[in-house]
Amino acid sequence: MYINGERYVPHGAKMISVINPATGEVVETVPSASPADVGKAVSSCADAFLVWSQKSYAERSMILSRVSAMLAENRQFEKLAALLTTEQGKPLHESRREIEGVIAVINHFTGLSSSLNTDFFENKSNNSYSFTLKKPLGVCASILPWNMPALILSWKIIPALLTGNTCLVKPSSICPLTVLELAAVFSAGGLPPGVFNAVTGPGEEIGEQLAQSKDIKRISFTGSAEAGRKMYEAAAKTAKKITLELGGSDAMIVCDDADIEDCSAKAVAAKFFNCGQACVSPKRIFVFESVYDSFVTAALKHVSQIRLGNGLSGTATMGPLSCEESRKKIIGFVEAAQKEGAEILCGGKIPAGVAGVAGVEGAEFEKGCFFEPTVIVNVPKESRLLKEEVFGPVMVILPVKDLDEAIAKANNSDFGLGASVWTNDIRRAKKAAEELEAGVVWVNQHAKVLPELPFGGVKDSGLGRENGYEVLNDYLETKAVVFKF
Ligand code: NAD
């Protein structure tokens, strides 16, 4: 835990082991917070709010900019990237990109601080003035998943901190270490004690306690749709503001005029990035029948070039799944697909060992949570692969007749996070952008998330948006004032 500007391990606390998914080794242990520990962290955030909310935007922005500079400093940057790979499994270059993403988010929001406006009205009829004040809410809670713990932390806490709120963060027990290390960097950068606290432990219990606490004014949750719905119900009891960033089953539509070589390479990169554990990875790839065979052939060629291994090796381009539970789920999806008659074109199993991959040959694979990059076709329309979120290295390719059929099939999902269309025809791009039911639509790319653009889903993929500009208002309460002398 991280409370009041320092690491905190309560005496006699039950400890949780954080496992390196590439080796099965325990990296470190963190305490499982009791209700009293959570209460202590909330009180500390509430006390710190009295100080932090009184600072000007310029002062808060200066401290956050200092943190950004510290994160970019080579030693700190590399330390965080290595820690992220060690606890989460992603290759080092992906961890570096994630820390760069955190820096970009800080720079984006600190750049906006001087453009936060209030409204002013002159009421001539009764000779009065009215205006709005934008007040920070208080203590804001952030509940994080394990797949991109650093980046998603920044989406939540940077707008909250900039607008004068204090933050209580609950990282996933699978990946809490990078978040705790980041809390220490923020403190070293000048964030006062208690402005950013982190508690580790079981999601359901801590989520329920935060939902019931009168001191918590807002909850931003990122995770599975199932846990998000529970969080929503719990938060309703005290009518809290809430953002839910949930799962996705992103569609990617490849039209017959797309550059097949280019888009198959980018589909493979987007799909197998983070071992397929990204909310916006393309989970259902719809390809026009006339280019279906050439797309599948090109995709298989690119998949064969993936080098599976320990993310720290420097040579691996795909790491293990985050934990054994995730791997069991993926094995369940693949076995179900096989029973349903789907065809596995490559992968579909735990690797036996690959000669020439540094550090992870043979037995090394057995200790980690590795799973081969997998491509599946001929998937029946009622398959679980199409109905549920498959959070792992499984690429599903489906033929479609035309754009109408592709959009109809893409929209036939409970999820609506991202979607993409690949075409050189602007009319097709426009139609897809308008008709796809998703919070974000990309044209000729996929999974590109920018701090300046609002991000979030529709349908079961969530509620509310993160990033962009408007999110700052989500962390502020608007008070109307009428003035007459
Ligand atoms: P998860 O739902 O298992 O856990 C997420 C967090 O919620 C963890 O910190 C967990 O401890 C906590 N939690 C679990 N049950 C809870 C409850 N009942 N109340 C409150 N908190 C609870 O999700 P995960 O496996 O860590 O992450 C993967 C999921 O996150 C995927 O579905 C993925 O698509 C989604 N995700 C969404 C986005 C997005 O921006 N939309 C981004 C990344 C990940």
266 is catalytic: no
208 and 123 belong to one structural domain: yes
236 and 315 belong to one structural domain: no
Nearest CA to ligand 1 atom 10: 203
Whether 224 is in the pocket of ligand 1, judged by its Cβ within 6 Å, is yes
468 and 363 belong to one structural domain: no
CATH of the domain at 466: 3.40.605.10
Pocket perturbation via mutation, ligand 1, pick of 32, 143, 250 by most ligand atoms within 8 A of CB:
143
pLDDT in tens, the chain (485 residues): 999 999 999 999 999 999 999 999 999 999 999 999 999 999 999 999 999 999 999 999 999 999 999 999 999 999 999 999 999 999 999 999 999 999 999 999 999 977 788 889 998 888 899 999 999 999 999 999 999 999 999 999 999 999 999 999 999 999 999 999 999 999 999 999 999 999 999 999 999 999 999 999 999 999 999 999 999 999 998 989 999 999 999 999 999 999 999 999 999 999 999 999 999 999 999 999 999 999 999 999 999 999 999 999 989 999 999 999 999 999 999 999 999 999 999 999 998 764 444 444 455 677 899 999 999 999 999 999 999 999 999 999 999 999 999 999 999 999 999 999 999 999 999 999 999 999 999 999 999 999 999 999 999 999 999 999 999 999 999 999 999 88
Token pair in block for residue 417? 């996070």
122 is catalytic: no
Whether 392 is in the pocket of ligand 1, judged by its Cβ within 6 Å, is no
- The neighbouring-strand residues paired with 169 are 142, 198
Tell me, yes or no, whether 456 lies in a domain: no
Nearest CA to ligand 1 atom 34: 247
Whether 462 is in the pocket of ligand 1, judged by its Cβ within 6 Å, is yes
User: Which one from 40, 156, 240, 283 is the annotated catalytic residue?
Assistant: 156
Give the chain's domain count: 2
Nearest CA to ligand 1 atom 39: 245
335 is catalytic: no
In three-state secondary structure terms, 288 is strand
The ligand 1 atom at the shortest distance from the C-alpha of residue 144 is: 9
285 and 393 belong to one structural domain: yes
259 and 152 belong to one structural domain: no
- Going from the Cα of 479 to the center of ligand 1, the distance in angstroms, rounded, reads 33
Beta-sheet pairing, 241-245 with 216-222: parallel
155 and 278 belong to one structural domain: no
Whether 247 is in the pocket of ligand 1, judged by its Cβ within 6 Å, is yes
Nearest CA to ligand 1 atom 13: 203
- Going from the Cα of 147 to the center of ligand 1, the distance in angstroms, rounded, reads 9
Beta-sheet pairing, 343-346 with 374-377: antiparallel
pLDDT in tens, 390-445: 999 999 999 999 999 999 999 999 999 999 999 999 999 999 999 999 999 999 99
Query: What amino acid is encoded at 127 in this protein?
Result: N
Beta-sheet pairing, 284-288 with 394-400: parallel
* pLDDT of 358: 43
284 and 422 belong to one structural domain: yes
215 and 345 belong to one structural domain: no
350 and 260 belong to one structural domain: yes
Nearest CA to ligand 1 atom 43: 279
* pLDDT of 484: 87
pLDDT in tens, 6-22: 999 999 999 999 999 99
What's the CA angle centered on 142, arms 477 and 198, to 5 degrees? 120
263 and 409 belong to one structural domain: yes
Rg (CA), the chain: 23
pLDDT in tens, 289-317: 999 999 999 999 999 999 999 999 989 99
Tell me, yes or no, whether 58 lies in a domain: yes
Distance CA 73, CA 60 (A): 20
What's the CA angle centered on 11, arms 185 and 28, to 5 degrees? 50
Strand order in the sheet with 394-400: 343-346, 374-377, 394-400, 284-288, 251-254, 418-422, 440-443
Tell me, yes or no, whether 457 lies in a domain: no
The ligand 1 atom at the shortest distance from the C-alpha of residue 210 is: 20
40 is catalytic: no
The domain in which residue 85 lies consists of 2-246+462-484
- Going from the Cα of 224 to the center of ligand 1, the distance in angstroms, rounded, reads 4
Average confidence score pLDDT of the chain: 95
User: Which one from 255, 279, 323, 369 is the annotated catalytic residue?
Assistant: 279
233 and 323 belong to one structural domain: no
Tell me, yes or no, whether 455 lies in a domain: no
- Going from the Cα of 391 to the center of ligand 1, the distance in angstroms, rounded, reads 12
Token pair in block for residue 68? 């950004």
CATH of the domain at 294: 3.40.309.10
CA-based nearest residue to 88, from 256, 343, 316, 320: 320
* pLDDT of 355: 44
Tell me, yes or no, whether 434 lies in a domain: yes
Distance CA 222, CA 216 (A): 17
Distance CA 34, CA 199 (A): 9
Token pair in block for residue 249? 């089953």
Pocket perturbation via mutation, ligand 1, pick of 154, 279, 388, 463 by most ligand atoms within 8 A of CB:
279
How far is the CA of 435 from the CAs of 258, 283, 409, 419, 449, in angstroms?
19, 19, 12, 11, 20
302 and 332 belong to one structural domain: yes
Distance CA 254, CA 424 (A): 11
